[in-house]
């Protein structure tokens, strides 16, 4: 489906930038914007040029809000229509959905998100979804370096990033992050069709800090956003899916009441259909299916569906149970074995206790992997969300 992504604040901007860097020409990415009060944070974005970034809230003097959610809410209320207009060059009226991406524990992004969600719902018919990073518990803990409360100290940082020897960006101390996240989750649930939380803490490896791991986590987040919203959106003129996934399938799966939904995803490399058959396709103008061993296709599909379901999701789903489930299986058309997908659906229904499973194909003609996306909605409250809510109870 064609999605318009709006990254708000530091975390949101980095995801918007990453999606633009990796998917700019892809048809699913209808529009991308990054909005922040922080001039320097916007300045670090690479893929999004001036025309797609926008600094709002002059009252903040070009800085971040240091986790002040009330200030963020005020600025969001005051500037929501201005932000709506700042998106116009990206042709938001063509979008089939909006996705607001935000770090829920901060000030600028979390503050502005509810007002922007409301504004977009007022202006357009397309559903507004939110993708929000949950803060890690260590962000709210007092740093033990004696700097005292309120310091912008790095806490337990200084670890090298996974990519090399550069020091990791410090993880800012954000004493209010958990309460901000609880309040923002409530506000977004009231105003968005669905909320996709991403549990930062659950994705950290032992000893890792958020600063050190954030690039890797952002890679996972961007990949899952692309896997869900890009599914079924193939370039013009390529294979026609037998059961193409469209925007209304996603809308039916996640609902419109602001429920929490989890995204599972897995891929497995496979041999792409051989050169000869692709040559033949051009020569005779018909799509001769490439030869793929049926048992290899069945096993690849079974594996990715199980991994997407049982592997780490964006947020842990208690007991794996869901009222509604969406399954999308992607890969080279010759690998999309109908029976294996039907078996996978039955297995998934059993596994999740869900009686409403929607499914679709995402054929990738030149692809070299089989993939599955599993969305679960109507889930019991995940532990981490309950913990966050208890901070404001």
Ligand X SMILES: Nc1nc2c(ncn2[C@@H]2O[C@H](COP(=O)(O)OP(=O)(O)OP(=O)(O)O)[C@@H](O)[C@H]2O)c(=O)[nH]1
Nearer to ligand X, 135 or 330 (CB): 135
Q: Where are the beta strands (DSSP E) in 278-380?
A: 324-331, 356-363, 369-377
Say how far apart CA 202 and CA 199 lie, in whole Å. 6
Nearer to ligand X, 36 or 233 (CB): 36
Nearer to Mg ion, 10 or 132 (CB): 10
Nearer to ligand X, 129 or 335 (CB): 129
Stretch that binds ligand X, among 5-13, 141-149, 262-270, 322-330 (CB under 6 A): 5-13
In the range 79-108, which residues lie near ligand X by CB under 6 A? Answer: 103, 105-108
**DSSP strand pairing (324-331 vs 369-377):** antiparallel
Nearer to Mg ion, 172 or 258 (CB): 172
Say how far apart CA 370 and CA 356 lie, in whole Å. 24
User: Binds 233, which of ligand X, Mg ion, none (CB < 5 to 8 A, cut-off by type)?
Assistant: none
User: Binds 360, which of Mg ion, ligand X, none (CB < 5 to 8 A, cut-off by type)?
Assistant: none
Give the x/- contact pattern for ligand X in 179-218, rule: CB under 6 A.
---------------------x-------------x--xx
User: Please, what is the minimum distance in Å from the beta carbon of residue 26 to ligand X?
Assistant: 22
Nearer to Mg ion, 10 or 105 (CB): 10
Q: Of 38, 119, 178, 233, which one interacts with Mg ion (CB under 5 A)?
A: 38
User: Please, what is the minimum distance in Å from the beta carbon of residue 99 to Mg ion?
Assistant: 19
Measured in degrees and rounded to the nearest 5, phi and psi for residue 3 equal -115, 140
- State how far the alpha carbon of 291 is from the alpha carbons of 149, 274, 341, 354, in Å: 65, 8, 18, 35
Q: Tell which residue, 29, 194, 41, 26, has the closest CA to residue 106.
A: 41
- State how far the alpha carbon of 177 is from the alpha carbons of 136, 181, 217, 303, 391, in Å: 8, 6, 18, 37, 10
User: Please, what is the minimum distance in Å from the beta carbon of residue 106 to Mg ion?
Assistant: 6
Work out whether 10 is an interface residue with Mg ion (CB under 5 A): yes
Whether 218 has a binding-site annotation, put simply, is yes
Q: Of 5, 11, 195, 322, which one interacts with ligand X (CB under 6 A)?
A: 11
Beta-carbon contacts of residue 384 (< 8 Å; ≥ 6 apart): 134, 197, 199, 201, 202, 315, 316
Whether 33 has a binding-site annotation, put simply, is no
Q: Tell which residue, 17, 148, 155, 139, has the closest CA to residue 67.
A: 139
User: Please, what is the minimum distance in Å from the beta carbon of residue 73 to ligand X?
Assistant: 12
Q: Is 4 helix (H, G, I), strand (E, B) or coil?
A: strand
Q: Tell which residue, 278, 298, 305, 299, has the closest CA to residue 290.
A: 278
Interface with ligand X (CB under 6 A), residue total 25
Work out whether 174 is an interface residue with ligand X (CB under 6 A): yes
Say how far apart CA 221 and CA 47 lie, in whole Å. 17
Say how far apart CA 110 and CA 181 lie, in whole Å. 8
Work out whether 64 is an interface residue with Mg ion (CB under 5 A): yes
User: Binds 109, which of Mg ion, ligand X, none (CB < 5 to 8 A, cut-off by type)?
Assistant: ligand X
DSSP 211-266: HHHHHHHHHHHHHHHHHHHHTT-PPTTSPPPTTB--HHHHHHHH-SS-EEEEEEEE
Q: Of 4, 5, 9, 352, which one interacts with ligand X (CB under 6 A)?
A: 9
In the range 55-74, which residues lie near ligand X by CB under 6 A? Answer: 64-67
Give the interface with Mg ion as residue ranges (CB under 5 A): 10, 38, 64
Give the interface with ligand X as residue ranges (CB under 6 A): 9-11, 14, 36, 64-67, 103, 105-110, 133, 135, 139, 174, 177, 200, 214, 217-218
Would you list which residues are annotated within the binding site for GTP?
139, 200, 218
């Amino acid at each position: 489906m064609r999605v318009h992504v709006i990254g708000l604040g530091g975390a949101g901007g980095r995801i918007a930038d990453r999606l633009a860097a990796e998917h700019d020409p892809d048809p699913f990415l209808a529009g991308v914007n990054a909005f922040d009060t922080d001039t320097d944070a916007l300045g670090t974005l690479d893929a999004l040029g001036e025309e797609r970034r926008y600094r709002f809230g002059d009252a903040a003097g070009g800085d971040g809000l240091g986790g002040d959610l009330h200030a963020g809410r005020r600025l969001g209320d005051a500037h929501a229509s201005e932000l709506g207009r700042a998106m116009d060059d990206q042709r938001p009226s063509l979008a089939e959905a909006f996705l607001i991406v935000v770090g829920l524990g901060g000030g600028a992004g979390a503050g502005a998100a509810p007002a922007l969600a409301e504004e977009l719902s007022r202006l357009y018919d397309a559903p507004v979804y939110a993708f929000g990073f949950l803060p890690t518990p260590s962000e709210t803990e007092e740093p033990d370096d004696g700097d005292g409360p309120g310091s912008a100290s790095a806490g337990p940082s200084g670890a090298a990033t996974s990519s090399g020897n550069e020091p990791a960006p410090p993880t800012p101390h954000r004493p209010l992050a958990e309460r901000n996240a609880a309040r923002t989750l409530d506000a977004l649930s009231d105003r968005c069709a669905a909320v996709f939380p991403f549990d930062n803490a659950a994705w950290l490896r032992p000893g890792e800090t958020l600063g050190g791991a954030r690039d890797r986590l952002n890679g996972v987040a961007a990949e899952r956003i692309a896997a869900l919203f890009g599914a079924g959106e193939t370039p013009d003129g390529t294979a026609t899916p037998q059961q193409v996934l469209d925007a209304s399938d996603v809308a039916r799966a996640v609902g419109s009441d602001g429920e929490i939904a989890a995204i599972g995803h897995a891929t497995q490399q496979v041999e792409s259909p051989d050169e000869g058959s692709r040559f033949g396709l051009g020569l005779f103008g018909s799509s001769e299916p490439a030869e793929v061993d049926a048992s290899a296709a069945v096993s690849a599909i079974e594996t990715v569906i199980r991994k997407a379901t049982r592997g780490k999701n964006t947020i842990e789903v208690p007991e794996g149970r869901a009222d509604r489930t969406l399954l999308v299986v992607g890969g080279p058309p010759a690998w999309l074995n109908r029976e294996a997908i039907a078996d996978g659906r039955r297995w998934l229904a059993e596994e999740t206790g869900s009686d409403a499973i929607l499914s679709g194909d995402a054929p990738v003609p030149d692809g070299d992997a089989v993939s599955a996306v599993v969305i679960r909605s109507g889930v019991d409250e995940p532990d981490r969300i309950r913990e966050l809510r208890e901070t404001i109870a």
